[in-house]
Amino acid sequence: MSDPRIIVALDYPDAASALKLAARLDPKLSRLKIGNELYTAAGPALVEKLRQSGFAIFLDLKYHDIPNTVTAACDAAAELGVWMVNVHALGGRAMMAAAREALARRKAAPKLVAVTLLTSIGAADMEEIGLAGVPQEAVVRLARLAQACGLDGVVCSAQEAGTLRRQCGKPFCLVTPGIRPAGAARDDQQRVATPRQAIANGADYLVIGRPITRAADPLAAVRKISEEIAQ
């Protein structure tokens, strides 16, 4: 069975645009990520359509609420048949443990990963919201908490992947956005890594948006990145 490492971020405002791009991709070579914008606009019907086309879906809704509510949301995501779902580690131990338990009771459950600290949060934001330490420390602390709660992994930057791989060991899944093939436009991303660097740092899955969705030939872009990873 193919186990594509590339997750294409479908950052689109409507189902039609997302389906158009998906029709130009191959589920054997990439998975798809649906985030808040697209899910709010297009909902479960789009998830179902993309699944029927053979794609594994990462439902990136970053749940962050009381344990009972997050548990129910994770169950609803599992019903949709998605491959991966995520929560905010800042929701705390009880929330993550409850989500883990709920999914563990199911026959077929999505992978459950946590967002540690949003990469948009800097040292000044941390101080303002009352979080101790610098962002890098919080990322490790929250990743270890997610691991202690039995989560399958975390979303992190490729720069953090090396440290987290050392701290959390091997089976822990690292999902890294901010990927730019050599020579590609950075867009609004600050700290980017090439696909090869991210994999070398220990990343398992690479979330890639614009370098693929805005390519003249998206499938060729996926192929090129897959080859770079495979080397």
Q: Which residues contribute to the site for ligand C5P (CB under 6 A)?
A: 9, 11, 35, 119, 155, 177-178, 187, 189, 207-210
- Minimum CB distance to ligand C5P, residue 170 (Å): 23
Q: Which residue is nearest to ligand C5P (CB)?
A: 209
For the question of residue 49 being annotated catalytic, the response is no
For ligand C5P, give the closer residue by CB, 102 or 168: 168
Burial 113-150, CB ≥16 within 10 A → b, else e: bbbbbebebeeeebeeeebeeebeebbbbbbbbbbebe
Task: Please count the helices (runs of H) and the strands (runs of E) in the chain.
Answer: 10, 8
Q: Which of 28, 33, 62, 107 is catalytic?
A: 62
- Minimum CB distance to ligand C5P, residue 128 (Å): 19
For ligand C5P, give the closer residue by CB, 97 or 219: 219
For ligand C5P, give the closer residue by CB, 196 or 210: 210
Alpha-helix runs per DSSP H in the chain: 15-22, 36-52, 67-79, 93-104, 123-129, 135-148, 158-168, 195-200, 210-213, 218-230
- Minimum CB distance to ligand C5P, residue 138 (Å): 13
Q: How many residues does the chain have?
A: 231
> What amino acid positions are annotated as catalytic residues?
62
